[in-house]
Chains A and B, each alone.
Chain A
Amino acid sequence: MDFDVAIITAALPYLWKGFLYTVELTAVSAVGGLFFGTLLALARLSSLKPLQTVAAAYVNLMRSIPLVLVIFWFFFLVPLMLQSVTGAERPPQVGAERTAIITFILFEAAYFCEIMRAGIQSIPRGQVWSAYALGLNYSQTMRLVILPQAFRNMIPVLLTQIIILFQDTSLVYVISATDFVGAAAKVAQRDSKLVEMYLFVAVVYFVLCYSLSFAVKHLQRKIAVIR
């Protein structure tokens, strides 16, 4: 079998575009997911029963459904939901790329919620007491005292989750979004160069994820020393 390197170099600009989308999707989902995940975690830990129940139900639902299905459902549901909200005659075209971003934010929020919940619970109760005793209110206590510490404790786990997210974003190829894998798949099928393209993509993923994991491990050791 002959291995055609030229096809990879020729496809690089197109693959680069796909790669950028993958990075964008990962970054936006991580930031958005962390934001909503933190809110969900606060809801799960709140003393208000209804809030707890709703947040827990959401998290458990998201974590019990395969990501591929969630992507599919959102691809079909988001336009319908927008239609019912705006009252438009036809479902608006959201596009695969934008659907993917919304889906991943909402899906990742469930996972980040559990990480942040563990992080918040790792902070001794006395920290909340002392913040309250000084007259800080709930939101100040969370924002200034508890979350910065929880976040810091959870950095290694959060980064690991983001590395997993980076790989998981490749699933958007099922709705034909052109991410890194999607771009490679399109070239592979057009030119019948499956081995070259899929191998190249796999190598890039491996090198990136492996070195990032390595960096996280290093960071973990460093944080452990500071503490």
Chain B
Amino acid sequence: MPMIEFKNVSKWYGHFQVLKDCTTKVEKGEVVVVCGPSGSGKSTLIKCVNALEPFQQGEVIVNSQSVGAPTTQLPQLRAKIGMVFQHFELFPHMNVTENLNLAQIKVLGRSLDEATAKSQMLLKRVGMTDHAHKFPGQLSGGQQQRIAIARGLAMDPVAMLFDEPTSALDPEMINEVLDVMVELAQEGMTMMCVTHEMGFARKVAHRVIFMDRGEIVEDSPKAEFFGTPRSERAQQFLSKILHH
């Protein structure tokens, strides 16, 4: 049973079709990288997993639950799926610990002490122990993104989604975030990552999905994708981002 499964998912904004009949899956413990030119629908696709983006056709099944089904309790389903965004989206009016504690307490019903202990453990893991009482505005982009990853992990998720986690970062901060992600991947976390970091893909991805104009053009094991991509569009894309 795959952890995340897309079955013929289509989505329209008015008359414009942003997702065209997308079918793919992410197995438990698998790391899948989604890439493609901007506007190709990759962020939209990943947001369908936890219903941040509704879709009109097809089915998304997460942890054996259908995302679009009317009986699905979305908050409960979302709580099991961690998500990291391009612009971090930490809550600026709360300090780091409060950011990590909030959903643990309000959604999982943990006590303040339990939540704080968990938060401290995760802050240590992402190397941010010294910043527990700072506010997001006082931290660098790389630090904020590591906090955002810790915030997702605090919910003990069954899978993590990453939506261009490094594309808003200054170049010197990209690695500190990628290091955390690599470590996570090596520990066996199920991950779906929208990213252009091909180094990351080469290092830990099991599969690479290439999207263009709302379609999944290529969906192949890593070696195959980087060796001999079948589609011309994927070849062009790779040559552009690898030889710039």
A140 on the B face (CB < 8 A): yes
Task: Determine whether the beta carbon of A135 is less than 8 Å from that of B107.
Answer: yes
Interface residues as binary, B67-92 with A (CB distance below 8 Å gives 1, 0 otherwise):
00000001110111111011101111
Contact of A134 (CB < 8 Å), options: B93, B137, B151: B151
Interface size class of B (residues with CB under 8 A): 20 to 34
Which residues of chain A come closer than 8 Å to B161, judged between CB atoms?
133
Instruction: Say whether, besides A126-B87, A132-B52, A137 and B75 are in contact (CB < 8 Å).
Output: yes
Residues of B within 8 A of A135 (CB): 75-76, 78-80, 103, 107-108, 155
Would A127 and B52 count as touching, CB distance under 8 A?
no
Q: What separation, in Å, do the CA atoms of A112 and B207 have in the docked complex?
A: 52
State how many angstroms separate the Cβ of B168 from the closest Cβ of chain A: 11
Assess the B89–A144 pair: CB atoms within 8 A: no
With A134-B155, A135-B75, A135-B76: A129-B103 Cβ-Cβ less than 8 Å: no
B233 to chain A, nearest CB (A): 29
Let me know if B102 and A144 touch, CB within 8 A. yes
A140-154 vs B: 1/0 string, CB under 8 Å?
A: 100011001100100
Describe A's contact surface by its main secondary structure.
Answer: helix
Give 1 or 0 for each of A194-227: 1 = CB within 8 Å of chain B CB.
Answer: 0000000000000000000000000000000001
Q: Assess whether A148 is in contact with B93, with CB atoms less than 8 Å apart.
A: yes
With A135-B155, A136-B103, A144-B102 as contacts: A127 and B79 at CB distance below 8 Å: no
Task: Tell whether A127 pairs with B89 under 8 Å between CB atoms, given A133-B52, A134-B155, A135-B78.
Answer: yes
By a beta-carbon cutoff of 8 Å, the part of chain B in contact with chain A is 47, 50, 52, 74-76, 78-83, 85-87, 89-93, 102-103, 106-108, 137, 148, 151-152, 155, 161
Contacts beyond the supplied A133-B81, A133-B161, A135-B108: 16 A-B pairs with Cβ under 8 Å: A124-B87, A129-B52, A129-B89, A130-B89, A130-B90, A132-B74, A133-B83, A134-B151, A134-B152, A135-B76, A135-B79, A135-B103, A135-B155, A140-B106, A144-B102, A227-B137
A-B contacts, 23 of them at CB < 8 A, read: A126-B89, A127-B89, A129-B47, A129-B83, A129-B89, A132-B50, A132-B74, A133-B78, A133-B81, A133-B82, A134-B107, A134-B155, A135-B75, A135-B79, A135-B80, A135-B108, A136-B107, A140-B106, A140-B107, A144-B102, A145-B91, A148-B93, A149-B93
